[in-house]
Structure 1
Amino acid sequence: MPELPEVETVLRTLEFQIKNQEIKEIEVLWNKIIVGDVAEFKKKCIGQHFRDFKRRGKYLLFILDDFILVSHLRMEGKYFYSTSDEAINKHIHVIFKLSNGMELRYQDTRKFGRMEILNKEIDLSKFKNLGPEPWDESFTPAYCKQFLKKRTGPIKGALLDQSFVAGIGNIYADEICFKMGVDPRKSCKKITNKNCEDLVQATRETLSRAIELGGTTIRSYTSSLGITGRFQLEVNVHGRLKEHCPQCDTEIVKIRVATRGTYYCPHCQKR
């Protein structure tokens, strides 16, 4: 599943490509991609323009004239900016025909992604029960301590909990734990005030750098738009089984934490 940096990269790329374009027509080739009535979805979207582009956690938010078009890529969702004469493969499920003659095509091999149309008045701060964005003023060490002291599971599990902080997935949770110097299995109840300070800083630094480099292409979400995710060249532990830690040269190991494959350095990351 794409994480915050990949979603942000897709969003910024689409903003450059389709901003202010009018939706002239929509083809829905797999109805279940749309949340709610498909005919109503089309009615509300057609004639609208892509005016602004925002992100909430892992959700793409296309701000139209009168509505918000929400898109969640889930496991395999991708967008293609295509000419109308390009062949449509069997995994293209939604096609937005634009006023410039181009098409915005949504492809989803596993059909898990979803789109829905919402009123502009929605309170995005409470959207889908998501926690604060990593750069929100409310995401502080004190907030982290208050949230984590109520949990008994591992710190990595908390980082994956979208109600704690929005947008972090498996890759970046491993990298954040490494930057914190914390074993991903460490109990939330044992997280110290210093750990919480490190958590906020590590989260912001890791995600900012990943956005700067276009995310990762360990599983590709952005290459369809001509973007190469270069953060994978800088990962410290994730996907580096049996390679040597960049800090201490200890061999990186892989375990399972919070049901997810997890990479860490046994020397640098303390439990």
Structure 2
Amino acid sequence: MPELPEVEVSRLGISPHITDQVVTKVIVRNGRLRWLVPDEVQLLVGQTVKAVTRRAKYLFIETQAGSGILHLGMSGKLRVVDKDVELVKHDHIDIEFSNGKVLRYNDARRFGSFLWQQPNTTHKLLMKLGPEPLTDEFDANVLFDQSRGKNTVVKNFIMDNHIVVGVGNIYANESLFKAGIDPRKPAGKITKKKYAELTVHIKQTLEQAIKQGGTTLKDFTQSDGSPGYFAQELLVYARTGKECLTCQTIIESVKIGQRNSFYCPSCQG
């Protein structure tokens, strides 16, 4: 599943091609995504794109009439192509622009979405989201204050979008390793000092992934078709049975919240 860095890389990739362009057509070939694509997305036609923004893993195509909201789901991909580029399987949505370019949404599993947000409103899916991890709103106080009295394991805690958005499985594993925190430890048992370290590592890990183009996942490519490269530098994720790059202890894995979790028993003991 594309995580926050992959979504941000997509935003950076498509923005130069569609910002300040007029939407000339919206083609929905298959509207049965995670939620049925609403007819209101046609309100984009005739509008000039003011900006492409992101909240959590949602992308917003902002216009005066409102915003089209795109979510990539499990396998969604966005490409900017010329209008005459041949369709391929699972190309469900085209947004055509006055410069002859098309923003094309492909989604094999159809767990993504294309929704509509009226001006000066917040879509109901976004109302209870936590702070963005790369802003000053997210700091050690957020994690420490909201974790008090919680027995939830810390890995699930930092992956809760009500606490902080966008810390997906890969980046949670990596950040906890760098902070020396056992992913199975109850969130309420972690000190403020440790949360301060974890906050720094979450920010740095996400920023590094964005800079390097997103993590290479089989279902993700950038808008220009090239893969990300962050996976080459993963320290614990998917390294079960291999030596820790820091202390040479064998990396172990455990299921936490139905997800594979990876940790070093020595560094995160």
Shift in alpha-carbon separation, 1:128–1:227, aligned structure 2, 3 A: farther
Q: When the two structures are aligned, how many residues end up with a matched partner?
A: 269
TM-score by length of 2: 0.93
Instruction: Show the 5 A alignment for 1:158-237.
Output: 158-237=157-236
Match in the other structure for 1:72: 71
SS at match of 1:178: helix
Shift in alpha-carbon separation, 1:81–1:157, aligned structure 2, 3 A: same
**Structure 1 CA distance, aligned partners of 2:83 and 2:34?**
22
Asked whether 1:122 is paired with 2:121, we answer yes
SS at match of 1:33: coil
SS at match of 1:195: helix
Do the aligned partners of 1:15 and 1:53 also contact (CA within 8 Å) in 2? yes
Do the aligned partners of 2:17 and 2:101 also contact (CA within 8 Å) in 1? no
**Structure 2 CA distance, aligned partners of 1:121 and 1:38?**
19
Offset of residue 232 of structure 1:
0.8
**Structure 2 CA distance, aligned partners of 1:227 and 1:176?**
26
SS at match of 1:12: helix
Offset of residue 123 of structure 1:
4.7
Match in the other structure for 2:18: 18
Instruction: Show the 5 A alignment for 1:9-88.
Output: 9-33=9-33, 38-42=38-42, 44-88=43-87
Match in the other structure for 1:132: 131
**Structure 1 CA distance, aligned partners of 2:36 and 2:113?**
10
1:218-259: CA deviations, max 9, x gaps?
Answer: 334234523431111111100112222111011111211121
**Structure 1 CA distance, aligned partners of 2:135 and 2:121?**
18
Match in the other structure for 1:4: 4
Shift in alpha-carbon separation, 1:34–1:116, aligned structure 2, 3 A: farther
Structure 2 gap ranges (5+): none
SS at match of 2:86: coil
**Structure 2 CA distance, aligned partners of 1:168 and 1:23?**
33
Paired residue type of 2:260: G
Do the aligned partners of 1:10 and 1:225 also contact (CA within 8 Å) in 2? no
Structure 1 gap ranges (5+): none
1:174-194: CA deviations, max 9, x gaps?
Answer: 001101101110111211111
**Structure 2 CA distance, aligned partners of 1:244 and 1:223?**
31
Paired residue type of 1:112: F
Match in the other structure for 1:155: 154
SS at match of 1:229: coil
Asked whether 1:267 is paired with 2:248, we answer no
Identity of aligned residues (%): 34
Offset of residue 119 of structure 1:
1.8
Do the aligned partners of 2:96 and 2:102 also contact (CA within 8 Å) in 1? yes
Which region of structure 1 is more displaced relative to structure 2, 218-227 or 32-41?
32-41
